Structure 1
Amino acid sequence: MIAVDQWTGEEALLLRSVKRQSVRQFAEGLGISPRTVSHWRENPARECRPHMAQILDTALSQCTPDEQEAFRVRLAALRGNAVGQFESEDAQPSPCTVISYKFLPVYLGQHLDPLFAIGAPRPPGPGGLEQRVLPGEHRTAHASTVHVFACGIALALVEEHKRVRSLTELAVWRYRSYMTDRSWAGQRFSRLLAQHGSEAVHPSPDPEYVLSIYELRNHSWTRAGLDTALQLLTTPSVLVNRQDLQNIRPLGPGVEEAKFREGWVHPEALAFDGGASRGVAGWSGVSYHPQPDERALTTSQIVALELDVQALWALSSHVLRMVEEGQDPVMPRAYGWRFLRGAHVRLTTARPTETAQHRVMREAILATSELPDRLRAAQDALRDSNP
């Protein structure tokens, strides 16, 4: 039995990560308010009170053996203790090849109707969203497309192949390219709307964020180094200084080396396996290392899920933003609260044909994105305004 001498928010969040639960699910399982979990995220170093520590002790004791082992290993890494040191002695920064997928969504509502009408049909993804595809025409990317969803979301998908000397180099490129990619996506959306007769959009379309998927290809890491590399790919902010967005730079010499040496893990990132393959889902992205095994989860399956997840995130954000601005959110009847309820059920319910690998990946992405909670909140807001 694992014993935690002193629970803090960091250890509590680590427990949530190994259980692969959303904030709401974790809070309900502990019998506490979701706001308490949010407080842990805001102040992870704060010590838990005795009664809360007892609740967490009980929750840990009720975990499966695999969850307890994952908690033990991650807790040791979090505290800088040596676990399996013989496996990680040689883990260090190394050149690698990655395929980067960037998702840039924005809500445009009925302005997208002309684009949806001319787009090439694409089969619905896991969320059941109707979508069509137009060329992206990104000048330097390996491939790019614009996905137009019937619910009013335009999403630019950019595929780029990168060979880098270190993950720090990749992290710097990632953040430096975000501003230019957002600008490109906004301009591409505007050109498509103008070319096909849609009314001008004010202000101009501007995706609020970029989510990334990284498929790790050629590298020299063994098991321990591979796990750390996937963690760093998912949460690259620990490698760079982002105080000045116009001058993103490495944190300093030796930072990446130290992360590999200690077997660094992020307390809120969720690992998922796909047979011999391995992956990690986090708030800002997903990393995946596929193996040449026909039974393994494919990157295309992860991309298909994220297309629907990011479209629904942008849609629910639009609804919740109207509420924050003091407006009654109004959506076309076909895309009101019942539509969000249906998407929520499709994304969170296992299918008879779904493999265990796919289920674990889906649950990890949904838990780290916290999309289910946002969909519920948006449903409630729309139900109040449009019963």
Structure 2
Amino acid sequence: MSTTAPKPISARNGVLIQQRQAKGWGRGRLAAEFERLGRDLGLSIPSRSAMEKAIYRHETGESHVTDTIYVRLYCAAFECSPHELFGGLAESPDSDAPEFHLTSNKFSPVYVGPEVVARLAATLPVEPAIVEQVECWSTRVDHPRGECTLYGFPWGCLVYHIKEPLSKDSVADVAVWRHGSYPRELEWTDQHVKSLLGGSRSGPEYVFSAFWVHMPKWKGEQLVTAMRLLCAQKTLLDHGDEEPSRPHAELVEQAFMRDGFSDPRILEFGVSGISFGYASWSSVAYHPLEGRRGLPQQTIVDFEIIVQSLWCFCHHVRSQIEAGRDPEVSDGYDWRWLRGMTSRLTNARPRESAQHVAMRITILQSSELQNHLNATLEILKDSSERQQRDLC
């Protein structure tokens, strides 16, 4: 009779396996992604072969994911929270942690006209895409700092989406980084538009941000304050400074962490016990507490892509009015089309979740797109009626 102790039964981490397979990756491909993310995040990581073996052990349950570096790599690769991937196995971050980890999503739109969008679809390696039930195309673009996808919408707008993983010490650190990154992004997108369309074309006029917080360093009211500050980062900076002072910004942040921070222009769409979600004129910030019960990051990204595209279209129409010209739009994109798009954005769908409805309404309100759409619709309708009267 053998006296050998039975081997413990290990529990497979089916979530890790499903996430990897959903990407279409083998373990070697995931290890290569870890290698790339490690460089981007400035992490000291093992060799690719060692990480591939670790991935096998994590998936089969031979070892649990307790190393903070692997937690960060998995969360960044799969765009999920620690709770979603590991349940209670990953230690909860606390306010004494040196860093917090988030993904920066930047959106930068430019109006080029329907004909140009159609021409680019024929000359670039694009793929058909659906964003918020709207048909468009997308293509990956090489970017010096992050992952960039260019979207083309048939009403004449291009939208750049630039995604970067970040590890920062404080919200002040993010604010200083963003202050410097916006001019760089505008210059880069301007040069890219010129490379596509010729030197006379101008690029996007602004950049909008959405921050997805994977692993915060705060708890309780301090986490609420941090999420609100991510939507109002200029509050931490000296106005007019070309080179903002990070030490000064951190002092301001510390005061807000002690006393709290609120602003009536920052609107909330999180759900108690599930997520923190805030939106303002300049940013959106979201942190899921309960994994799959929260909104997926791509849901917020997709909605912002369509919002920025329609904002760009409305701005194009109103710019013509402000220049003293009657608005000109391509066939098929008149006030009736815009009325349909407005209805699609503003009305709830039968199977739409309450969280998605809250996110959509909040972003529409904080961005003032609802008012922008209504005003543009009236402009186009009035112009169409005057043209009809002139024909009579």
What's the TM-score once normalised by structure 2's chain length? 0.70
Give the gaps of 5 or more residues in structure 2: 1-93, 386-392
Q: How many angstroms apart in 2 are the aligned matches of 1:138 and 1:267?
A: 36
Correspondence 1:120 to 2:126: yes
Q: Which amino acid aligns with 1:263?
A: G
Residue matched to 2:44 = none
Q: Which amino acid aligns with 1:297?
A: L
Shift of the alpha carbon at 1:188?
Answer: 1.5
State how 1:269-348 maps to structure 2 within 5 Å. Answer: 269-274=266-271, 276-348=274-346
CA contact (8 A) 1:91 1:260 kept: no
Residue matched to 1:156 = 160
Higher relative contact order (CA 8 A, sep 6+): 1
> Would the alpha carbon gap of residues 192 and 280 (structure 1) be closer, same or farther in structure 2, given more than 3 Å must change?
same
Q: Which amino acid aligns with 2:357?
A: R
Q: How many angstroms apart in 2 are the aligned matches of 1:310 and 1:93?
A: 35
Once the two structures are superposed, residues 240-263 of structure 1 have per-residue CA deviations (whole angstroms, 9 ceiling, x without a partner) of 12404x423344552110111111
Shift of the alpha carbon at 1:354?
Answer: 0.4
Residue matched to 1:136 = 141
Q: How many angstroms apart in 1 are the aligned matches of 2:310 and 2:279?
A: 18
Residue matched to 1:354 = 352
Correspondence 1:176 to 2:172: no
Once the two structures are superposed, residues 29-52 of structure 1 have per-residue CA deviations (whole angstroms, 9 ceiling, x without a partner) of xxxxxxxxxxxxxxxxxxxxxxxx
The percent of aligned pairs where both chains have the same amino acid is 35
Give the secondary-structure state (helix, strand or coil) at the position aligned to 1:104.
strand
Q: How many angstroms apart in 1 are the aligned matches of 2:192 and 2:176?
A: 24
Q: 1:264 pairs with 261, 264, 272, which one?
A: 261
Shift of the alpha carbon at 1:122?
Answer: 4.0
**Length, aligned pairs only:** 288
Q: How many angstroms apart in 2 are the aligned matches of 1:147 and 1:296?
A: 26
State how 1:355-370 maps to structure 2 within 5 Å. Answer: 355-370=353-368
Shift of the alpha carbon at 1:223?
Answer: 2.0
Q: 1:243 pairs with 230, 240, 243, which one?
A: 240
CA contact (8 A) 1:92 1:260 kept: no
> Would the alpha carbon gap of residues 229 and 385 (structure 1) be closer, same or farther in structure 2, given more than 3 Å must change?
same
Shift of the alpha carbon at 1:380?
Answer: 1.1
CA contact (8 A) 1:297 1:357 kept: yes
Q: Which amino acid aligns with 1:174?
A: R
Give the secondary-structure state (helix, strand or coil) at the position aligned to 2:270.
strand
CA contact (8 A) 1:136 1:188 kept: no
Q: How many angstroms apart in 2 are the aligned matches of 1:258 and 1:233?
A: 15
Structure with max Cα Rg:
2
Give the secondary-structure state (helix, strand or coil) at the position aligned to 2:380.
helix
Give the gaps of 5 or more residues in structure 1: 1-89, 194-199
Q: How many angstroms apart in 2 are the aligned matches of 1:242 and 1:147?
A: 33
Residue matched to 1:85 = none
Q: Which amino acid aligns with 1:229?
A: A
CA contact (8 A) 1:91 1:261 kept: no
Q: How many angstroms apart in 2 are the aligned matches of 1:308 and 1:374?
A: 14
Shift of the alpha carbon at 1:95?
Answer: 2.3
Shift of the alpha carbon at 1:112?
Answer: 2.4
CA contact (8 A) 1:92 1:261 kept: no
Q: Which amino acid aligns with 1:324?
A: E
> Would the alpha carbon gap of residues 252 and 98 (structure 1) be closer, same or farther in structure 2, given more than 3 Å must change?
closer
